[in-house]
Each structure stands twice: as C-alpha cells, then as structure tokens.
Structure 1
C-alpha cells in the first residue's frame, strides 16, 4: 500500500512537458511586453509633463511681463537642457539687422564697448564724444537679472530641448544659450520649440506672439514657410 501511495509523488517530480514550457514562455513574453509598454508610457508621461512645465513658464513670463511693465526674457541653455527667466526695467529693443543670437555675442559686445571706453579714459579722452556716446549706450543697455520667482529649471528623466526656431533668426537653434524675449506691451517673439525624451519621441510647442498662448503638438512639427513673417515689421519690439 505504501508503494502505491508513492507513485503519484514520483510522477509529480517529472520535468515539464513541451506544452507546459511553451505556456510558461508565452507568459514571460507577455509580461515582458507589458513591462516595456509600461516603460514607454512612463517616458511619454515624463516628456509630456516636462513639456507642459516649459509651456507654463512661457505663459507665466508673458503675463508677468505685461502686468509689471518689465522687459523679460527666457534664457534657454541648450547644452544642459536648463532654463530660467530674467527681467529688466530698462527698455530693450530687438535689432532689425545684425541682432544678437546668443548670450556669448551679447557679452562680447559689452566687453568691446567697455574696453573702448577704458582705453579712451586711459588716454585722457574721457570727454571725447565717442567715449560719451559709448557711456550713454552702456547706460541705456538693458541689464537683465534673474527673476527669483522662477528658479532655474533643469529638465529631468532624460528629457530635453532638442532645438527651437525664433522668428528673425536663421534656421534652427541647436546649441549654446538662446533668449526668447517678452515685451511689456503684450508681445513675445514667435517661436517653435521641440522637446524630446532622448529616445526619438518629440513634442512641439508653438508660441503665439500676441497672446503668449502656447500650443502643444505631438511629434516634431516644423514651422510653416511663412513662420514669423507678420511680426517682422514689429521686429524692434514695443
């Protein structure tokens, strides 16, 4: 009797049948698929959240600029995928030609003007009309300081700003520090920004100049051929 009772137990110790192996493999594949899909969804949610946060900062800057009568700009570091807001009480005007396209060019212009003024003063020419003109230009130049209400934002989770277009600037801007300017009369430079998750997924933000509204689109949507043309006559700012 004892031997008979041992037979079922010994049978249970046999290996899995081919059918059972296939069932187990199928379950594992299904679970892996669910896991990958979950990761993809998580990445998509992260990209959408970071894109929405950037859009909110742009809209906030537009509203704050018009409410307080400040000249403001969004400073975007394309190398580190970070951005912050700066403000100035001094009027700022965009140039119709030869306008600055990067922070480095703007700083270089300031250094040259300061060096010329110092050289003229060292030669005893502080009353020279050229020196006086340089000094007045420096005083008129907008001095931007960081807006403490909007701390520097570093995009997270592998997301970043791939590139952007700003009306009046040649082609897509892909490197360095770029400024998006806001004016107290209620106008912001027309712009198109592309955010990415670093894995081939993109979202597009379109900045509307007269309202500060920011539209979000899925994918990388290039600007139209006439991008920014209606605003070119107002390129000096307001």
Structure 2
C-alpha cells in the first residue's frame, strides 16, 4: 500500500499562496478601518472647537452635514448671538435646500459659514459616507439633504448621533452629549434612543 502525504515544499507553496492572498486583501480592510478612525477623531476635535467658539463668542454654531449621493460634505456655520432652535424654520430650510430655488427678495440666512474652523467644505475619505444623522429635535433620522447639530453659547450641544459607514459592515456612530459637548465613538450603528438609555 502506497501512502503519500504532502511534501514540505508543497505545504510551503500553499502557505505562500495563502499569505499572498491575505497580504493583498488586508491593506484594504485596514485602510478603511484607519480612515474611519481618523474621521471619528477629527469630528471629536472639531466638536470641541465648535463648542469652545460658541462659548467664547456668545454665538450659536451649527455643524452642517450634507448627505447627497456622491456629494457628501460637512462644514461649520455661525449665527450672531444666542439663537434657539426653530424646528419649523429648520425643516423649511431643508426643503428649500432640496429645491435649490433661492428667492432674490429673501432675507439673508441667520447662519453664515464660519471659515475659522473649517476653511472650506470638508469631504469624507473615499469609500466612507454618512449613514444617517439623528438629533433630539428631528422627527426621524435623516439620511438625505442637510442635517444640523447645534452648539449653544451656554456650552450645551444638541443631543445627536452621526453614523459614518463604508456601506457594508463597517459603521461607527458619533454620539454628542448635550451637557458636556463631548463626542464619543461607538464602533457600531446605534440610534439616538439607544444611546440615551
């Protein structure tokens, strides 16, 4: 009876092929993981800077998240002085933003882009996008149009969550604490209601 097993050379060849396959696929996975970490850290630092600016200038700021397919951006806007959230006006502004029709006789908007925090509109790295944004004042999570997270002169922040995703299995949630203004990272998709329990 002739029993034949694998030779050492055959085993080494198979291991080399497996190593090459893993070596080609792993950098892509780690790149997305590193990109999402980098974006999350950037938002944590940005939220801290917005909160400090709002307190120092006694103004209301807002972080604007634009969620349009292939055109997802974010930037910071400022209103002069303290300003309460007007949910109806915000909803109207979202609808006007969708229509893109600006009336010539319309009054100037209350919020203007603040270039001291974001020099221009920022974009997410390739392969990442905003899954949804949810605030305590929104009727439902937003996944299209513009979403706003407000920062107040008293140091408070509108309770909210931002989901950043690659569209597959990788989704992180940024949670904004209304009292401390601190943004925390949860390494999975979570709604605002889940984070407030």
Which of the five TM-score ranges fits, normalised by the shorter chain? 0.7 to 0.9
Cα pair 1:102 1:176 within 8 Å, conserved: no
Q: How does 1:70-149 map to 2 (within 5 A)?
A: 70-79=59-68, 80-95=71-86, 98-101=88-91, 103-105=93-95, 114=105, 143-149=110-116
For the pair 1:45 / 2:2, whether they are aligned, the reply is no
Aligned residues: 185
Shift, 1:191, TM fit:
0.2
Q: What is the CA RMSD across the aligned residues, in angstroms?
A: 2.8
- Secondary structure of 1:77's aligned partner: strand
State the structure with more CA Rg: 1
- TM-score by length of structure 2 reads 0.80
Q: Quickly say closer, same or farther: Cα 1:142–1:157, change in 2 above 3 A.
A: closer
- TM-score by length of structure 1 reads 0.68
Cα pair 1:78 1:175 within 8 Å, conserved: yes
Shift, 1:75, TM fit:
1.2
Paired with 1:102 and 1:220, the residues of 2 have a C-alpha distance of 28
Shift, 1:39, TM fit:
2.3
Cα pair 2:58 2:82 within 8 Å, conserved: no
Range 97-106 or range 56-65, more displaced: 97-106
Paired with 2:179 and 2:132, the residues of 1 have a C-alpha distance of 22
Shift, 1:37, TM fit:
2.3
In structure 1, stretches of 5+ residues that fail to align are 1-17, 116-137, 229-238
Corresponding residue for residue 206 of structure 1:
175
Corresponding residue for residue 58 of structure 1:
47
Output one character per residue of 1:77-116: Cα deviation in whole Å (capped at 9) or x when no partner: 0112210111121442223x635236333668xx78x57x
